[in-house]
Structure formats: structure tokens, C-alpha cells
Structure 1
Amino acid sequence: MTATRRTILGAAAALPLAACTRQRAIVVGAGVFGAWTAEHLQRAGWDVLLVDQMGPANARASSGGESRMTRGTYGRDEIYTRMALDSLEEWKRLSERSALPLFHNAGVLFCFQEMIDYARQSIEVHTRLGLPLEQIDNAALQARWPQMNFDGIAFGLFEAEFGALMARRAVEETVARFVARGGQFTLAHAKAGTQGASVLLDEQRHDASAVVWACGPWLPKVFPDVLGQRVFVTRQEVAFIAPPDGDDSFEASHLPGWADFNGGDLYYGFPNLEGRGFKIARDTHGVDFDPDTGDRRITEEGAALLRTFAERRFPALAGRPFTEFRVCQYENSSNGDFLIDRHPTFDGVYLLGGGSGHGFKHGPEVGRMMAELVVNGTAPDQRFSLATKATAHNRTVL
């Protein structure tokens, strides 16, 4: 089944918005967190209405765009390694049923200038979980991936089981299958109700047993008094570069996804996926950004920074043209941990967000955790609670 906005909306149009006799949930936000929350609530037997103001994984959403990395390398944060593994199984199953691939098993390579705690702890976690993680020295890196210049790199950690998720397509496919099984989806502008589990959709009130707000960078705008600076939105710049003509060494069959700990900066990217071009980005908290009014054109300084790094690490890309730019946003929690919790004062209202730039891969598990909180009252790990989100920005999750 190929997901398109036309098929999603067409299927949803035949479904009424009237309340049902079964437990009913409204999920606001059809990004990866909201889509998988709706999916898991549906699996639990609930009637679910999924709402978005522009459509699943739209151009302004944090889940929009072409590709996202899935990886198990998380330093000491074993909880995220386990979540990534469990989520990967869901992504693989969804990809196998999709007309076009949602997961490219290209592998992921992390490059390090020296042995740091993050690398050492990643090795320990993978060993403890029995998850393959190959440590490769500089000479072997050069021989295996001659497209890359490994000057200054002491070693790499390679995860063969992971790779790239096709972001927008994967979310649309998730929503399309949810709708095909009887879930409801509608386009509407949502506002928080003034009491309990209610929401205003295009100014009309809708009540439910539970309302889950999973609206990404809009979450702190909906609940400014509760979240304040506990979830803050920043601007990130991404570029795509045309690989050399006729050179297949930049295809996913020859080059993995990669991340480079570059003296305090972290650059990452993908090979040429489905002819879109070589992707490069810098993983850092950019300037504050408003998802409604922010300028999504890349700056000259940002483009120059990405080009300089790409040409240093991938010499064959020198002088190659940019094919595309994208400005997206991170909705960061204060420490990089997700927010999966109840609203502190409104019964039946739940807050889901804080993807912090690394959340996409975890969508299936995050959705499962939120659904369990809604259905059974089973709270996830304490680190995902609102109480752990401070106003001081000190990201510890990479």
C-alpha cells in the first residue's frame, strides 16, 4: 500500500467524527510520535481520531523531509539502544508491506578521533545486549570506504543492522494503514480545551476519554505555562549534494550512513538514497525558531559550513553542486530525553514530545509507551516525565 495524502484523506472522509461507545482518544499531531501513538491505541481496541493541521509529516513538521538515521549507538544510554532495536523491528515489518522501501539497511558508521566515553560506553552496551558492533581501525576504514578521507580518525564503530528511514513516506504509510483499519484522520486546527479531555477542532469542541498532544514544535506554544523553556525549538540546516556523475560509490550499497565526532561538533549524513543526493547536516542546537513564521531558507554561512566539511571528509564531492536545502527544527527537551507524561492539571490530557533531534527512529516505541500510559496508566521510565524537564538547557543525550 502506497500512502499519499489523497488516499489518507479520501479514506478518512467516509468516517464520522461522532463519539463512539468504546473508549475514544484524540491524538493531535500526525508526525511520527502521534502516528505511532494512534496505531498502538488502535491495537489496544480504542477508537482513535488523529488530527493534523497540514497532514502527516508535512513540510513544516519535524517528521517531514526525506531521511532519518536509525542507530543503536547511544553511549551509556542503554534505554535508547533497546528502544531503537524494538522500533527497528516495527519499521522493518512496515517496510516489508510497503510498495516502496521505508528502511534502507545501509548500516551506520560512527567516526572518532580518539577513544572517548561515548564510544567506550557504546561498546559496553552493545556487548551487554549481544548487539553486533564492529570496531574498525583507521587503515581498515580507508580500505573499506575509500570514498571517505579518514585523516584524523582513530577508529570507527559500525552497526550493520541499522541505516536510513524514509521519514515522510514512513509516517504517511503508518497513517494510511491506521486509517485502512478503521482509524479516523482529519485535517483541522486544534486548540486545547479549557477543561478535561477536550479539544477544539476548527473551533468545534470534541470530547474523548483521552487527548494526546503530540504536536512537535507547536507543543510549547499550546502549553506555554506548563512547558515554557522545558521544550524549546531550534533551527537546523541540511544540504544535499549531487554525487559525481556515473559514480555509484556514493550509493547506499557502497556507503553507510555516518556520524563524525569532529572535535566537539557532530556532523552526520547519508549516501545517495533513491537519487535524492548525498545528505549532510550538523547536529547542534541552532537558533530559536518559530515553526509558523520561521524562515526555512538556508543561510550562506550554513551552506558554506556544510560544504567545507563534506569536501574534507568526502574529497570527490569537491565542487559538486548542491541539489537541495532544507531547514527543519528540533523540539528539544532540556536534557534531550523525550516527554511522555500526563498533563499536570488536566485529567485525561497527555503531553508527548521533546524529540530533540533523535526521536524519529524511536517512534514505534514512544507510541507504545504513550498508549500504555493512556490505556493502563503504566508510566514509562522516570526520565521521560515532565518532572525531569528543567528550564536550563543541558543536553546529555546524543
Structure 2
Amino acid sequence: MIQKNFDFVVIGAGCFGAWTAHELLRSGHKVLLVDAYGPAHSRASSGGESRVIRMGYGGDELYTRWSLRSLDVWKALGERVQRPIFHQTGMLWLVGEGDTYVGQTQQTLVSVGVAHERLSVRELEDRFPQISSAGIDWALWEPGSGVLMARQSVQALVAEDVHAGLEYRVAGVTPPPNGKLERIVTQGGESISAGCFVFACGAWLPKLFPELLGQRIFPTRQEIFFFAPPPGDCSFGYPAMPAWFHHPALVYGIPDLEHRGFKISVDKHGPAIDPETASRVPSAEGLAIAREYIAQRFPKLKDAPLAESRVCQYENTSNGDFIIDRHPQIENVMIVGGGSGHGFKHGPAVGEYVNRVLTTADRGEPRFALAAKATTQHRSVY
């Protein structure tokens, strides 16, 4: 069966794909959203419980402004679907010796007009006594930032758009040929035609476009752990505990939300991962690293039982900038990906940007171009 008359087909119902489909639909287009496993499924980079949304990005104003814009849109979605998608936990940056990144972050927050405070060690200890200040020189506080409920929000967005006229189906897609793409073919044999195809498949992009993206997107295995606070202790849950990031150590965490446990993860890139076939069982080494950090930074959780764990992936570009560009050999295909571990928060801004590039004369941001992506990694965006 051949499905015709779609203006756009978006392949991938993660955060980037769902928001892209949303914006194209709002612009009056006939849109089909396709995903092999479902919106924000368990192996997707957009799956899982929670994601930090912060305004701080070193000296990078673009991502700070995109975070600001996206936060407004996330809040509006929560109001429409009447679900707690955003928790304003605040965002706490822990600053160690020689850390220039957070100092640059503060300068950018001043420039853009984002509310923040610089906390001394004494102020940090008074405000958050459950956090050890060992090795910390100062802290940066973003009171308006917080945490997004990841899987819930993407699934709510897709459900809302289906009600508004978006067509959606679960189907795997075979790699497209070069030349103008008239249609995609699902693994079930269905042929779907459209004027333009947007591939927002996360860590699956190198599988669909191996020659183009096999050396430009680097999926890495990332382990996440949830620890149970002591009985009756509310100091590690919202609102007592904020989201936080210790930049020099590249460790971040999220307070106990919805009674799932205190979340901690190492932000350093892990080993390479195949998102389709990889084991999702966390390693003993990863758990030991998380416990070692917790014992130092959160002494009351030193012996906390592990409540939950999961393995996800980052889909990294060479430096951490997104890839949002037209395919150089397939004129009506757009590639949207390279979230690089920090992309989820920007979903609404990405959707608006892709819609603008596809439907207006906007030539796009050069840093998102395929040509700007190297084949070796040198991370500069966190």
C-alpha cells in the first residue's frame, strides 16, 4: 500500500522528532510521524525519567537563549496537558579549583539576563547542608531552572498532536537510496511518499546513513543510577534538593522526584554502543564510580541502597553541536540529531528551527551544518 499526500514525514519520535512534527503540524502541513518502537521508548536517548534543563552553557549564548525559549514552551505544554512536566528545582553548579567554564557561564547569564546567584562556600553549606563542600571553591545558582520529565513529556506531546491531526505509526524504516527521495519503505514493506523527509533517529542515524554519519555521530554508553534516601529523609528530594552539575568532575544529578530515588550519572563519554543490540545492564565499575562520588559529595547517602538503574546513550557529534542540515546527496532529506547528551532540553527550539529552515528562506546556523562536523571528537559543548 502506498500512502500519499504527506507534506512531511518525520522519522523518529524522540524529543527532536516529536517537536519537529509538532511545529510542522502547527504550520498547517500534513505530517506523518514514524518510529520503530514508540515515542521516547526505553532505548531512545529521549527515554527515561528525567532531564535537567539549565540556562548555563559557558560562553555559548546560542544554547542559553534556546534553553530560555524552550523552557517557556515546555511549561506551556505542561499547562495544556495538565501534567507536571517541569519541576522548578533550580540548578546548582559546583565549581572546583581552576574551573573557568562556570565563570564564563555566569558572564553569559548576566549578558542574556538570566536570574542567578553566586554562592560562597559558606552560603552553599547553609543553603544545602546535605552537600559536602569538600573541594568546592564556590557555586552558581540558577533558581529558574530545573528538571523535565522526559518520557512523559514526549509521549504527552505526541498524543496531543495526534488529537490535533498528526498521523502517527510504529514502523521501522529501511535506509534510503541517494537521489531525490520519493518514498520511504518500512521494514514491513509499506511505501510512504512525501515531499520532504526529516530523519531524527538519534543514535540510529549512523545505521541509516553509514557513509555520511558513520564517522560524524559517535553513540556512547552512559550509565545512570538512582539511590534510595534514608527513611523519612526528605533532604534529597524536591524541593529541598536541586538539580546539580559538578563540572570539573563531569558528574551531575537530579533530586528524588516521584519517589524514584536520587539520580546520579557521570557525564564523561562512555564506550561506544550499538543502540539496537547493546546490553542495558549497568556495569559494576560504573556503580562503584557513582558510589565513590556520592560518598564524597553526599555523605548521608554513602550506604544508600541502589533503587534503580538504566543504560542509555549519548549520540555525540565531534564537538557537541547538533546536526541540523540537509542531506548533501538527497535533496529532500533533512538530518536532525547529534543531541550529544545535552539536547533534550532544546527540543522545542529545535522544532521551531527545523520548521523555519524547511518552510522559509532561512539558510540556517552554520555550526549545525554537516560540513562543520569533524570525524574526531573534541568536546566543547557541555
TM-score for the superposition, normalised by structure 2 = 0.97
- Greater shift, 175-184 or 114-123, is seen at 114-123
1:383 to 367, 370, 374: 367
Name the CA distance, whole Å, in 2 between partners of 1:52 and 1:363. Answer: 17
Structure 2 CA distance for aligned equivalents of residues 240 and 356 of structure 1? 22
Decide whether the 8 Å contact of 1:230 with 1:334 is kept in 2: yes
- Structure 2 match to 1:43: 26
Instruction: Give yes or no for contact 1:114–1:155 (8 Å, CA) kept in 2.
Output: no
Name the structure 2 match of 1:92. 75
Alignment RMSD (CA, Å):
1.3
Secondary structure of residue in 2 paired with 1:392:
coil
Cα offsets for 1:156-178 (capped at 9, x unmatched): 01101110000000100110111
Match of residue 329 from structure 2: 345
How far, CA to CA, are the matches of 1:75 and 1:115 in structure 2? 14
Q: Is this contact kept in 2: 1:238–1:280, CA < 8 A?
A: yes
Deviation at 1:261, TM superposition (A): 2.4
Equivalenced residues, count = 379
1:230 is paired with a residue whose SS is: coil
CA shift in 2, pair 1:382/1:147, >3 Å: same
**2-structure distance, mates of 1:199, 1:18:** 10
Match of 1:34? Answer: 17
Alignment counterpart, residue 350 of structure 2, candidates 366, 378, 385: 366
Give the residue type in structure 1 aligned to 2:349. Answer: E
Q: Corresponding residue for 1:216? A: 202
Q: Does 1:200 align with 2:171?
A: no
- Shift of residue 115, structure 1, vs aligned partner: 5.5
Deviation, structure 1 residue 369:
0.9
User: Which of 67, 71, 84 is matched with 2:54 structurally?
Assistant: 71
- 1:313 equivalent among 270, 291, 297: 297
**Equivalent residue for 2:226?**
240
* Equivalent position to 2:253, from 265, 269, 277: 269
Query: Which range is displaced more, 164-173 or 198-207?
Result: 198-207
CA contact (8 A) 2:2 2:190 kept: no
Unaligned 5+ runs, structure 2: none
Letter in 1 for 2:74: W
> Which residue matches 1:9?
none
Deviation of 1:206 after TM superposition, in Å, equals: 1.4
How many angstroms apart in 1 are the aligned matches of 2:193 and 2:292? 53
What is the CA-CA distance between 1:205 and the residue it aligns to?
2.0
Secondary structure at the counterpart of residue 369 of structure 1: helix
TM-score by length of 1: 0.93
CA offset at residue 130 of structure 1? Answer: 1.2
Shift of residue 377, structure 1, vs aligned partner: 4.3
Residues 274-298 of structure 1: CA distance to partner in whole angstroms, max 9, x if unpaired?
A: 1010000000110000011111101
2:86 counterpart (103, 107, 126): 103
Are 2:3 and 2:193, in contact at CA under 8 Å, matched by a contact in 1? no
Q: What displacement does 1:117 show? A: 2.4
CA contact (8 A) 1:26 1:212 kept: yes
Structure 1 unaligned segments of length 5 or more: list them.
Answer: 1-15
Per the TM alignment, residue 150 of structure 1 is displaced from its structure 2 partner at its CA by: 0.9
For residues 158-177 of structure 1, what are the structure 2 equivalents within 5 Å? 158-177=141-160
SS state at 1:323 partner: strand
1:112·1:154 contact (CA, 8 Å) conserved in 2?
Answer: yes
Which residue type is aligned with residue 129 of structure 2? Answer: P
**d(CA) in 1 for partners of 2:184, 2:129:** 55
Q: Which residue of 2 aligns with 1:260?
A: 246
Q: For residue 3 of structure 2, what is the aligned residue in structure 1?
A: 18
CA distance in 1 between partners of 2:176 and 2:139 (Å): 50
